[in-house]
Amino acid sequence: MTIENISANKSFGGWHKQYSHQSKTLNCNMQFAIYLPPQVSNGEKVPVLYWLSGLTCTDENFMQKAGAQRIASMLGVAIVAPDTSPRGEDVTNDEAYDLGQGAGFYVNATQAPWNRHYQMYDYVVNELPELVESLFPVTSKRSISGHSMGGHGALTIGMLNPERYCSISAFSPICNPINSPWGEKAFTTYLGKDKTTWQNHDASELMRRATNFVPTKVDQGGADNFLVEQLKPEALEAAAKVNDYPLELTLHEGYDHSYYFISSFIEQHIRFHAVHLTK
């Protein structure tokens, strides 16, 4: 695999770097960011936290706004942030912000014309980690986290692949997308009208029937404009109670859906992952 370095910025003794590469899974050029903590300069290999961003975002939002590098530097954790969808002139798109480029929903599309490029599940689970682990000084120990649409992606990908991830976390995730306007729109478009095929991409459905558990942490803002209609954390909480899933879900009064919320609690999340990544 060949990749091109786009930018490099030193941060808390480590390096934040952006790369582009041609993705065979997505049939387009993709961009991702990686933060390598200072421990790698001493010849150490470090575990990786994969971060999945939300609607309209790219790899840049989290890396520039969350303030994650300081604590990742202290704890010796690399962070990898992919883009949220395939992009390019020949990639199918939609005028709406919640569909198409910037809104891949971390699923493998089965419906034409979306299925030619929109295979974000396979990209996040397989292609990107294989690339990262072959080219950077990291171990095969992984955790996964995300925000909003990316929180949905982190929860579902983590639960569908419990052998691949040491821990899962999410900020303001879409917890029950089969009953959410965002999820219904995206799943109808990418997966088709048969709603039985949607259940494998719904965190509440997966948590309710899980048999292999991954420690999971979710934080939700109480003043989030999307809380009631789109996010539905109560569905996830109810699902966890069905089989005693190890879910830590906290509602924070006054916080909204923004990166002000994420930056307020990102240290807790990275510390949570570091505990499980170093076991």
Q: Render each residue's pLDDT in the chain as its tens digit; 279 residues.
A: 689 999 999 999 999 999 999 999 999 999 999 999 999 998 999 999 999 999 999 999 999 999 999 999 999 999 999 999 999 999 999 999 999 999 999 999 999 999 999 999 999 999 999 999 999 999 999 999 999 999 999 999 999 999 999 999 999 999 999 999 999 999 999 999 999 999 999 999 999 999 999 999 999 999 999 999 999 999 999 999 999 999 999 999 999 999 999 999 999 999 999 999 998
Cis omega before residue 113 (within 30°)?
Answer: yes
Query: What separation in angstroms does the CA of 239 have from each of 16, 57, 116, 243, 245?
Result: 37, 29, 34, 8, 8
Active-site position among 180, 224, 269, 273: 224
Active-site position among 147, 201, 257, 273: 257
DSSP assigned state of 108: B
pTM assigned to the model:
0.97
Q: What is the C-alpha to C-alpha distance for residues 63 and 76, in angstroms, rounded to an integer? A: 16
Q: What is the C-alpha to C-alpha distance for residues 8 and 32, in angstroms, rounded to an integer? A: 12
Active-site position among 11, 53, 85, 148: 148
State yes or no: is 224 an active-site residue: yes
* Segments in 192-258 forming alpha helices (H): 203-208, 233-242
State yes or no: is 257 an active-site residue: yes
Q: How many domains does the chain have?
A: 1
State yes or no: is 148 an active-site residue: yes
Is 170 in contact with 147 (CB distance < 8 Å)? yes
Dig out the tokens for 164 from the structure.
Answer: 């691949």
- CATH code of residue 92: 3.40.50.1820
The domain in which residue 223 lies consists of: 3-278
